[in-house]
Structure 1
């Protein structure tokens, strides 16, 4: 199948073998239909490229299905496929899943092989942050697909074939990070309300539910400050040294100049998309954050990780936004990049996370939020997703 990753210089390139995850699915009886569309080099949160053009959201054609796994999301959200396989390094499964109203799971880091994925990197941090996972309309498919796709060595830790009851799961919720982050627009009020509705549903059924920090406001040792997760995510992610070089893959011996190509793309003359070039511009400038501050942010991220590991344990989950709003208009994502902090942060931490659909907003566009657990506790996410689907309806076309 085609392996060009939606980039003009790679048009016509085909894979010479199946990725490991595809081999596993085919061995279990799955029938691949196609390689769906992505943004160039999977480097955007909307699905546009110069090879196949623009992918549309099945709920409203003037909106994006998100990215990078936007083609998979659009097909599955429209009911055109039984399930999909996406990749997620900064929300690229979960954001599209919210935009089209399906379930999308970013698994625990490392449990599913990324061998055969492009782009790839020799940097171990890249391979840690990148996950491959299932996208589907029905929550009951999540544990089965994750079991098939995951490396057998992790099956005993994941315990996906063992029953779990939602009453045994502790639920924490946080409806927004903070207004003190670089993020300059708030989580939609209806998304926040739907998170509270879900929390209330579980609480009324005897589940232990509490705000992430309400009981720890006066304890610095226990309080989990999420106000700078955008800065933490950017600084940590951009320590990756070996990233695929978009501008060297152009059929010539000379590497093209990033800033020239960025200007040309804004004028419509570049062979590369503006979104992909903008990513490389951010990487080259460390997201416009000084190296001194970078080290402090990375340290803070490690501290938050340890606190969340302790809080969630083996039987806890966190309700947290997937993205601050429903599906964006086409070409709007570059002005709202800060919104990906909600999903991207958990790539950095390596925690499993599932987007769960929660109906539609006043624009008739799907909304949802993510259910997060500690590493190797993916089944907690699935159990909560099943109950939310039963209570609130799940996927709606």
Structure 2
């Protein structure tokens, strides 16, 4: 006998009960979510209160700058004990007593590495990363962790847990990212040495935007063991960990300290290459390649002037400057960098956001990543005649087969060898390159993912690259910006012009690049640029 059909009121009651249950479960999840966020913020505030009670000058300055810029996420109270310990017997480490700040994603025992994700709150790390272990053995005192954008895949610095970090030079501007908390803290005088990571410019953007120096080494010159990546497992675009400081000599001191037996024994995948003092200290004239644009992202007037003025300073000092023809940056950006990072169709990247309310500061790129392969292909085809750059980005985010990924890796390797061959044909020592700047307004990096072309090239090639501030935006630069149209004259170019606008007085940097494993030569070149710039400014 068939059961009698349910009456409409009964069905309505069942549906209402189901809906109420769903809403209740969602409400409970959100309540737990916000409780974790509130607890993390409370811990951040308590840490700042402890710093306020401390009398050490570096803590006072760090406290002041973080109150202004929101750059510190956690205070390491164990640093007080380390600071009070007696001087060790024998020869102290090169960084003895030096307070250092650490990017959120670099593991420190007993502290979270959140990457801006709520799920990572209250998940303290069981041990220090190799980098932090070596720093401590060299006498350094890690005292704070610093803010990052959610997922790290952004050159802004904002997440749902700790909020937006501001540029210490102008609070309406981003400090850059993903090592943005480091850039703001050091740029504001709250730390003298800090550490970040770089997979597309994440050390160099904050340094350039905040008017400080940074070195992105060759990917495996310093250990990455115990450092969390935004997209775990991808090898197409090489990530690196490196130092940030107010001056080049501090970076060199740091590399001297880190390139030691402790680093090589704690991580045997790091080649045992101690710091080459002879290369760094050399005064021989250099043969320097240079270019003013990559023909993909049109440089701002201040960027172009920064390269030209630095070129003249170097020539006047006796160095030889040789034009370098940069080509195919658009192909490298789409096919090596974007395609390489998202070769699994963005699956690994999107997995980071499961259960999270915030969706990062990547703007449109995040939503494009969620499209299925067939829809990505269709949207790319539709967009091609109107916005070709967007079309290329979408098609580069599709899922690759294993065969396609291996073929991509082979192509990246061949491209690197071709670049080196062009470099050696000109008999170059180092390269002078533009660096995106000045600092963009807050929120603009999420709309301008294409603007990473100047930095990401050297992650693809895996060359060491450093940033040195050389000038500031002038009124004349601002006037010339009115004629800025970009190479594509699309929405991105118009948006970048707006992001540059109103920047008089903000710093502009250049990039100094060397061949793989030649960090000492890169630092020597950076030191030369820094010295000549300081001399010029003293004469003005």
Provide closer, same or farther for how the CA distance between residues 135 and 244 of structure 1 changes in structure 2, counting only shifts above 3 A.
farther
Comparing 342-351 with 237-246, which one deviates more in the overlay?
A: 237-246
Structure 1 unaligned spans of 5+? 214-222, 257-269
**Correspondence 1:41 to 2:128:** no
From 141, 152, 155, the counterpart of 2:250: 141
Change (3 A) 1:209 1:124: same
Q: Does 1:273 align with 2:360?
A: yes
* CA apart distance, 1:33: 1.3
Match of 1:330 among 442, 449, 473: 442
Displacement of 1:144: 2.2
Alpha-carbon distance in structure 2 between the residues aligned to 1:113 and 1:243: 27
Aligned to 1:202: 314
Residue 364 of structure 1 corresponds to which residue in structure 2? 505
Q: Measure, in 1, the Cα distance between the counterparts of 2:284 and 2:243.
A: 25
* Cross-structure match for 2:452: 340
Which of 295, 305, 320 lines up with 2:433 in the alignment?
320
Residues 16-69 of structure 1: CA deviation (Å, up to 9, x unaligned): 211110111111111111110001121211001100111010100000001000
Matched residue, 1:132: 241
Counterpart residue number, 1:165: 282
CA distance 1:319–1:296, change in 2 (3 Å): farther
The two structures have a TM-score, normalised by structure 2, of: 0.61
Q: Distance in 2 between matches of 1:26 and 1:242?
A: 37
What does 1:153-192 align with in structure 2 at a 5 Å threshold? Answer: 154-156=271-273, 159-160=276-277, 162-178=279-295, 181=296, 183=297, 186-192=298-304
The alpha-carbon deviation at position 244 of structure 1 amounts to 4.8
- CA distance in structure 2 between the aligned counterparts of 1:104 and 1:283, rounded to whole angstroms: 34
The equivalent of 1:55 in structure 2 is 165
Within-5 A mapping of 1:1-397: 1-119=111-229, 123=233, 125=235, 129-150=238-259, 151-152=263-264, 154-156=271-273, 159-160=276-277, 162-178=279-295, 181=296, 183=297, 186-213=298-325, 224-231=327-334, 232-239=336-343, 244=348, 247=351, 270-275=357-362, 278-279=365-366, 281-282=368-369, 287-289=393-395, 301-313=412-424, 316-323=429-436, 325-362=437-474, 363-393=504-534
Query: For the aligned residues, what is the CA RMSD?
Result: 3.1
Structure 2 stretches of 5 or more lacking a match?
1-110, 265-269, 377-391, 475-503
The worse-fitting range, judged by mean Cα deviation, of 292-301 and 103-112 is 292-301
2:364, 2:123 → 1: CA distance? 21
Structure showing the higher helix proportion among its residues: 2
Distance 2:197 2:118 in 1: 21
Q: Which has the larger radius of gyration?
A: 2
Structure 1 CA distance, aligned partners of 2:328 and 2:351? 38
* 1:211 shift after superposition: 0.7
